[in-house]
Structure 1
Amino acid sequence: MKYIYYDSKTGNVERFINKIRPLKNWIFIKINEETVAENKGHLVTFTTNFGEVSKTTEKFLLKNNEKILSVSSSGNMNWGKLYALAADKISEHYNIPVILKFELAGLNSEVETFIRKVEEIR
Structure 2
Amino acid sequence: MKVVYLSLTGQTRKFVQKLDMDLLEITPTNPYLSIHEPFIVVVPTYEIEATEIINDFIETGENQNYFKGVAGGGNLNFGNLFVFTAKDLAKEYNVPLLHTFEFQGNDEDVQKLKKAVKDLG
Q: Do both proteins adopt the same fold according to a TM-score greater than 0.5, normalized to the shorter chain?
A: yes
Question: 1:60 maps to what in 2?
Answer: 57
For 2:73, the aligned partner's letter is S
Question: 2:22 maps to what in 1?
Answer: 27
Residue 107 of structure 1: how far off its partner (Å): 1.3
The CA distance in 2 between the partners of 1:103 and 1:68, in whole Å, is: 23
CA shift digits 1:14-60 (9 cap, x unpaired)? 00011112xxxx311112312212211111111103xx470211211
Structure 2 gap segments, 5+ residues each: none
Question: 1:88 maps to what in 2?
Answer: 87
Q: Which structure dedicates a bigger proportion of its chain to strand?
A: 1
Residue 117 of structure 1: how far off its partner (Å): 0.7
TM-score (norm 1): 0.87
TM-score (norm 2): 0.88
Segment of structure 1 superposing worse, 100-109 or 62-71: 62-71
Question: 2:42 maps to what in 1?
Answer: 44
Question: 2:7 maps to what in 1?
Answer: 8
* Identity over aligned pairs, percent: 23
The CA distance in 2 between the partners of 1:79 and 1:47, in whole Å, is: 9
Please state whether the residue corresponding to 1:48 is helix, strand or coil.
Answer: coil
Please state whether the residue corresponding to 1:20 is helix, strand or coil.
Answer: coil
Residue 65 of structure 1: how far off its partner (Å): 2.2
Instruction: Give the aligned length.
Output: 115
Structure 1 gap segments, 5+ residues each: none
For 1:90, the aligned partner's letter is L
Pairwise CA RMSD: 1.4
CA shift digits 1:67-114 (9 cap, x unpaired)? 110100111111100000111111111101100111010111111100
